[in-house]
A and B are shown apart, each in its own frame.
Chain A
Amino acid sequence: MTIAQDRESLLAELGGQNKATIGAVLGTGSIAKASERPDGTMEATIRIPEDAMAWEPGVLIMPHAGILELTIINDDKNTHACLLPSNGDRQFIGLLNHSKGTATLELDGPGCYWYGSPAGNDEGRGLQAAIVVTGEVPPEAKLDRPAQPRP
């Protein structure tokens, strides 16, 4: 039985392509936070490193709901794509080898969204990642009741 302290060493065994299993294991990537401009728009960069078949960061944190401007970089020697959530329609971009593009997303919060590369089995190999919107709903949308205990 594994205990919590073993997490890092065990993750190292899982990390990368064609090691412990065929692809990268879901939810084992890095974490980063989007930066925020004075007008509240957020920005961040996501990237596919060479031969990683994974997005870096694996979890991107948005500090609040709103507009996220993404720079999307494919540093891999293969062609991928990116299909991202956004209110209105999902946003698609093709990513040729060694390419760079952008996407503008509108996301409500709080909540956890996923995106991936809808090509081959890119998603199953590891090209699936999360965008986590933190924060609370607007004050006017909260229930009229005293603050409640949370888990």
Chain B
Amino acid sequence: MTLEYVDAGKAFNHSQLSNLPHSAPDVTRGVNYERILQARSESQNWITYYGDYDGKRHSLLDEINAENVKNLKVAWIFQASATGMIASTSTYAFEACPLVVDGVMFVTGWDGWLWALDAKTGEQLWRYKHAIPIDVTLCCANVNRGCAVANGKVFMVTQNAQLVALDATNGRKVWQKTIGDVRAGESASIAPLVIKDTLITGSAGGEYGVRGHIDCWDLETGEQRWRTYTVPKPGEPGSETWPADGEAWQRGGANHWVTGTYDPELNLYYAGTGNPAPDFDGEVREGDNLYTDSVVALDVDTGEIKWHYQFTPHDLWDYDSTMEMTLFERDGKKLMAHFDKNGYMFVLDRTNGELQHVTPFVDRIDWGVITRDGKVTPRKYPDKEGEPCHFFPGPAGAKEWTHASYNPEHDLFYVPVADVGATATRRRREFKEGMPYWGAAVEVDIDNMAGSVSAFDSHGEEKWRHRLNNMPMAASTLSTAGDVVFAGTPSGEFLALHAETGEKLWSFQCGSGHHSSPSTFTVDGKQHVAVPVGWGGWLEGIVPGMSGQGHGAALIVFAL
């Protein structure tokens, strides 16, 4: 006799087994290009990655200020974690900057997660989980830096190089595009940027010998508007900086994996690019290797590179230049500041890329020297096969991807500084698609570390320094008009520093290290500060001496 099966029904969304309302107010419907152009003027919200197109990470909110910040308390906590096997399991962490629109927070996590939260209470409103293969190639962690919002939608990239547009009221997918080749070693971690009626994204995977690119997508349909490769083909401008008879350009790196900034008057998108590949074996890619370790200024309508400036020509130390290009004005001049992994602060004329001046911003730099007028002289680099070479800063740089902020009232940049060295020993390997392509054995120092939040004026003069206890900074800073600079440390302290003096005004032990970007907003007229917390990411490169610190994953929101 055959026994009939019990009907188990049809599998359903796991989030149905929760008290989630699965809906959020339609707050992003009215967010459009015009509003994002004026983002700072609505400082009650944080509607784009840096808080504004200029990358300053400076809020005009001042309810929380240098006088009362000592009274800051936890308003709510959102907790999340990883379950089961995920790609690069040991590395997952928040690296995002939370966006807030009229009382709703949108924050991305690792492994395809995006959450919509009530910004007043922390209640989870809906969530989206993209399925991420466990074998996807990641360099160097299972992370995501944030989302974009506009026209009723939320946009994010996924670790397996997809771009998704979600209905911001319920998290349901509206469209999806494949934006990279996971078999080639491409992935994605960048927060998309809405410009006009498009989205800008970039790729990750420089450590696998991919060819970097920046892409522009139609906001409503996901159709591609343009793609610009950041390594030129033979015959294209810049190709003369690669071996003429070789294949190096095909694997040249130069990935754009951190959101760029944008000047609407100039119609230019300023994209930082990553290291060349192989990272440490320069002999197989002789030349300057454009446009690696550069800022490229793209016409946002066409993707055409209008000008470029290369911070580390022929990089042999893994000195990506993907980090923020902060736009500011001085003496009526349109300028840009950039704190590079190579340990130097660069100020450029952002209309044409002309260098204004260069200044070191970390104590120990011995890989080479860059003069104030930009002349680069390498001194120490992995040269001979099998011969170890120790250098400062290590491959995570004097400042990793985590962002500086800029207070225009004080003309001060608040820089998360890392002072950690490393040893690279050149070990040549042949290129194979999808395999790590470093050209060296690399060991980052686990002792003799230092770090600080350091304040520099736009001329490069250091005005104050808040030293950490023998560890580097590994999280973004946030500047507010209340004369407070917020910064989280690897040991879990969330600090409030005085914007003019660096005096420590307040701190809170968050229970896990910081590796994200805090933001600030108001809800019901009350200012809040949000900081995603959790110790992960590329710790083996940034601070391996604290990679056993414990994990954690929580978003903590503070208010008076």
Contact surface of A with B, Cβ cutoff 8 Å: 70, 72-74, 82-108, 110-114, 116, 123, 133, 136-138, 140-146, 148-151
Q: Given the interface contacts A112-B133, A144-B211, A148-B433, does A99 sit within 8 Å of B184 by beta carbon?
A: no
List of B residues within 8 angstroms of A105 by Cβ: 131
**Interface pair A108/B131, CB less than 8 Å apart:** yes
Alpha-carbon gap, A88 to B112, bound state (A): 9
Interface membership of B15, Cβ < 8 A: yes
Interface membership of B165, Cβ < 8 A: no
Query: Which residue of chain B is the closest to A72 with respect to CB atoms?
Result: B8
Smallest distance from the beta carbon of A34 to chain B beta carbons, Å? Answer: 16
List of B residues within 8 angstroms of A91 by Cβ: 11-14
**Interface pair B84/A114, CB less than 8 Å apart:** yes
Query: Which residue of chain A is the closest to B249 with respect to CB atoms?
Result: A145
Q: List 6 A-B contacts (CB under 8 A).
A: A89-B128, A90-B131, A98-B3, A141-B180, A141-B181, A143-B184
List of A residues within 8 angstroms of B224 by Cβ: 140
Segment at the A interface, from B171-179, B374-382, B496-504: B171-179
**Interface pair A98/B5, CB less than 8 Å apart:** yes
Interface membership of B229, Cβ < 8 A: yes
**Interface pair B160/A108, CB less than 8 Å apart:** yes
Q: Given the interface contacts A110-B182, A142-B184, does A101 sit within 8 Å of B11 by beta carbon?
A: yes
Q: Given the interface contacts A111-B160, A140-B224, A145-B250, does A87 sit within 8 Å of B17 by beta carbon?
A: no
Alpha-carbon gap, A102 to B7, bound state (A): 9
Interface membership of B76, Cβ < 8 A: no
**Interface pair A90/B162, CB less than 8 Å apart:** no
Smallest distance from the beta carbon of B218 to chain A beta carbons, Å? Answer: 14
Interface size of B as a range: 35 or more
Choose among A74, A102, A111 the residue that contacts B133 (Cβ–Cβ < 8 A).
A111
Closest 4 CB pairs of A and B: A111-B133, A101-B8, A103-B11, A100-B5
**Interface pair A141/B134, CB less than 8 Å apart:** no
**Interface pair B10/A93, CB less than 8 Å apart:** yes
**Interface pair A82/B128, CB less than 8 Å apart:** no
**Interface pair A88/B10, CB less than 8 Å apart:** no
Q: Given the interface contacts A87-B130, A89-B127, A148-B433, does A102 sit within 8 Å of B136 by beta carbon?
A: no
List of A residues within 8 angstroms of B14 by Cβ: 83, 89-92
Alpha-carbon gap, A138 to B163, bound state (A): 14
List of A residues within 8 angstroms of B133 by Cβ: 108, 110-113, 133
Interface membership of B526, Cβ < 8 A: no
Interface membership of B251, Cβ < 8 A: yes
Q: Given the interface contacts A82-B11, A143-B211, does A148 sit within 8 Å of B130 by beta carbon?
A: no
**Interface pair B433/A150, CB less than 8 Å apart:** yes
Smallest distance from the beta carbon of B365 to chain A beta carbons, Å? Answer: 34
Alpha-carbon gap, A97 to B8, bound state (A): 10
Interface membership of B135, Cβ < 8 A: yes
**Interface pair A116/B6, CB less than 8 Å apart:** no
Interface membership of B266, Cβ < 8 A: no
**Interface pair A151/B432, CB less than 8 Å apart:** yes
Query: Which residue of chain A is the closest to B137 with respect to CB atoms?
Result: A111
Q: Given the interface contacts A108-B133, A142-B184, does A99 sit within 8 Å of B8 by beta carbon?
A: yes
Alpha-carbon gap, A5 to B226, bound state (A): 53
Interface membership of B210, Cβ < 8 A: yes
List of A residues within 8 angstroms of B1 by Cβ: none
Smallest distance from the beta carbon of A90 to chain B beta carbons, Å? Answer: 4
Query: Which residue of chain A is the closest to B250 with respect to CB atoms?
Result: A145
List of A residues within 8 angstroms of B73 by Cβ: none
